Amino acid sequence: MTRIIIADDHTLFRIGLRQMLDSFDGVSVVAEAANAAQMLDAAETVGADLLISDLTMPGTSGTQLIEQLHRRHPTLPILILSMHDEPATVRRALQAGATGYLTKESSPDTLQATPLGRNHMMAATWSLFYWAAVLFLRWRTGERAWEGAINRLIMVVLGALGAGLLAITGTLGGHLHGAPAYLSEILRMLGLDVYQTYYVPNGVLAVLAIVIVAMPALAIAAARELAATPPHGEAGK
């Protein structure tokens, strides 16, 4: 059951949004808030899986409120539902810590398309292509991929990177189901925020690109050198 907090200073809008959310299976609205103080109090006491909030609230408002909430509850997804659709406003809200941003003109189906969901699909796609490349390398080199200390080290590193991608994919899936993992905190320490759409730090991208290109190249070069070396029995003939 996904537990949701609704925060908006318009009572009729909260009622309508609650009725729509309650019509979905596996969704429960556990608290409502009409101002910033009530929203912060609900986040502290209810233990929700998602907060849906207007950007402009009585009291502390805007990105300042998002930053404050994200600082207190870094694993709580925050979905902004606002009438403001300016790109600069959306960008500031996401940079402040919001998980996603929807306008009040959006279709209800858009609620299923969040930055976290897109990141999950991206990580799954990366994992698929990565392991396809590793399998191709294994097929291309055969048993020679495990001959020699360098080749074995390369295969171990490739396997570890692939396992890391699978772990990230699983972590994002856990967030989508309201079960955050400690791995997301490690990713945040590395500069990768799971709540930012398609956001990967340039340093991480550079390391991945170097490893993905260098490891197969080293493996193929080592395999060719091994193939060119005659067996010990033939070397003395």
Residue 93 and residue 207: Cα distance in Å, rounded?
Answer: 29
3-state SS, residue 78: strand
Whether the pLDDT of residue 6 is over 90: the answer is: yes
With a CB cutoff of 8 Å and minimum separation 6, the contacts of 39 are 5, 7, 33, 51, 53, 57, 65, 69
**pTM for this entry:** 0.49
Give pLDDT tens digits for 143-182.
776 777 777 777 787 788 888 888 877 777 666 555 556 7
Q: Which amino acid is at 205?
A: L
Q: Can you tell me whether residue 3 is helix, strand or coil?
A: strand
> What's the pLDDT tens digit per position in 147-158?
777 777 777 877
Q: Distance between CA 170 and CA 182 in Å, rounded?
A: 12
User: How do residues 81-129 score in pLDDT, each as one tens digit?
Assistant: 888 878 788 888 888 888 888 877 665 554 445 566 667 677 777 788 8
Alpha-carbon span 36 to 57, nearest angstrom: 6
Predicted local confidence at residue 111, as pLDDT: 42
DSSP letters along 85-113, please? --HHHHHHHHHHT-SEEEETTS-GGGGG-
Does CATH place domain 2-112 in 3.50.50.60? no
Q: Which residue has the higher pLDDT, 82 or 224?
A: 82
Residue 212: pLDDT above 80?
A: no
> Do residues 42 and 31 make contact, with C-beta atoms less than 8 angstroms apart?
yes
> How high is the pLDDT of residue 164?
81
Domain ranges of the chain: 2-112, 115-235
Q: How confident is the model at residue 234 (pLDDT cuts 50, 70, 90)?
A: low
